[in-house]
Amino acid sequence: MTTVRRGPAPLRIAVLLLSTLLLCTTTLAAQRRAPSGRASGGGAATRPAARPAATPAARPAAKPAAKPAAVPSARPAAKPAPTQVAKATDRPGTADKAKNVSRPGDNNASRPGDKNIKTGDRNINSGNRDVSIDNSRKNVNINIDNSHDVNVRRNTVVRPAPRPYVRPPYRYGGFGYYSFHPYYYHPYRPFVWGPMWHPWGFFVATLATTAIVVSLNSQQYHYDQGVFYTPTTGGYTVVTAPVGATVPSVPSNATTVTNTNSNNTTVNNYYYGGTYYEKSDKGYTVVSPQAGTLVPELPEGGEEVTIGEQKYVKFGETYYQPVQVDGKEMFEVVEVKKE
């Protein structure tokens, strides 16, 4: 049997307190090391599972969604905008500018020689001519600027009527318009006498072999089948027939017009293409129109003018009044007098 020797009481108490203090210190230290040192446990199992789930899920989901959505959507939307710049319409090849650009092949192009040409229903201004061509009807209208034709005033000044008028004149603007027949309006429709006839101002490059030379007052003309020409640059231009010129013949389809002179003698004139001829021993001499003469057709080159309430057709200095004789529409040469 072993006998335990007990020491003094104060020593035992000190040992007991020291043992208790060491035990408490050891317990606290064990509790502090428990979260990192233990592999299992209630608190240790939940904390590690929460951090990895929160941190990886938040960062990868936020960064890829922000950068790809912002950068691609902003840059492609900004770059295509400069390709729609309105300056492209200021170039000659655009639709707006191309309409106002004159090119050599354009229908409305301006060309040298003082000529303005338009297709379709065309108007051609060339020198002293104004030519209107209606393609739908193939009619050619030529208006002559009479100031450029030295013959117009010579063969379009009306000769007075040899007999008195039985009707009062139509008065307007200080002038009296004398005629033998009442006014009966019908429109002016230019007449063409055939393929060999050409209106005043018409240009040809060459003449037919049947053309002859006619001289009058030191001026030479070329005459062919009722048409008079004068030489011009590059060819010949049709002019009004010079009064006093004598030709050997007139076309077979010339119209015979009858006038009565002051002696009540019937005088036959021949009318063709707007020109009047009188038969003589030497041939047919060009004469001026005589007031009261009736003709069935008028050539191209005249203009329909309105005087007061009536319409006349004017050629140079000659006025024609529309009338109706025996149910047929005709034109009468009017004598104009200042009153």
pLDDT of residue 87: 44
Read off the pLDDT of residues 94-109 as tens digits, 9 standing for 90 and up.
444 444 444 444 444 4
Cα separation, 291 vs 300, in Å, equals 20
Mean pLDDT to the nearest integer, 261-286: 87
Q: What is the DSSP string of 71-118?
A: HHHHHHHHSSGGGG-GGGGGSTTSHHHHTT---TT-TT-EETTTEE--
Whether the per-residue pLDDT at 83 is higher than 50: the answer is no
d(CA 25, CA 19): 10
Residue found under tokens 């890829």: 64
Q: In what order do the strands lie in the sheet with 212-216?
A: 203-204, 235-239, 227-232, 219-224, 212-216
Confidence of residue 16 (pLDDT cuts 50, 70, 90): confident
Residue 163 pLDDT:
86
Domain ranges of the chain: 110-338
The pLDDT tens digits of the residues spanning 301-333 come to: 899 999 999 999 999 889 999 999 999 999 999
Average pLDDT of every residue of the chain: 72
Look up residue 129 and give its amino acid: R
Spatial CB neighbours of 205, under 8 Å, sequence gap ≥ 6: 234, 235, 236
Reported confidence tier of residue 273, pLDDT bands at 50, 70, 90: very high
Average pLDDT over residues 237-263: 89
> Given pLDDT bands bounded at 50, 70 and 90, which one contains residue 151?
low
> What pLDDT, on the 0 to 100 scale, is given for residue 260?
72
Q: How far is 310 from 299, CA to CA, in rounded Å?
A: 20
Give the mean model confidence (pLDDT) for residues 16-36.
65
Report strand pairing: 203-204 vs 255-260: unpaired
What's the mean pLDDT in 25-54?
50
Confidence (pLDDT) at 32 = 63
In this model, does residue 290 exceed pLDDT 60? yes
Predicted confidence at residue 175, as pLDDT, reads 96
Percentage above 70 pLDDT, the chain? 56
Asked whether residue 239 carries a pLDDT value surpassing 60, the answer given is yes
Say whether pLDDT at 27 is over 90.
no
Least confident range from 65-69, 125-129, 188-192, 266-270: namely: 125-129
For position 11, what pLDDT does the model report? Answer: 67
pLDDT confidence bin for 48, thresholds 50/70/90:
very low
Q: Report pLDDT for 215.
A: 93
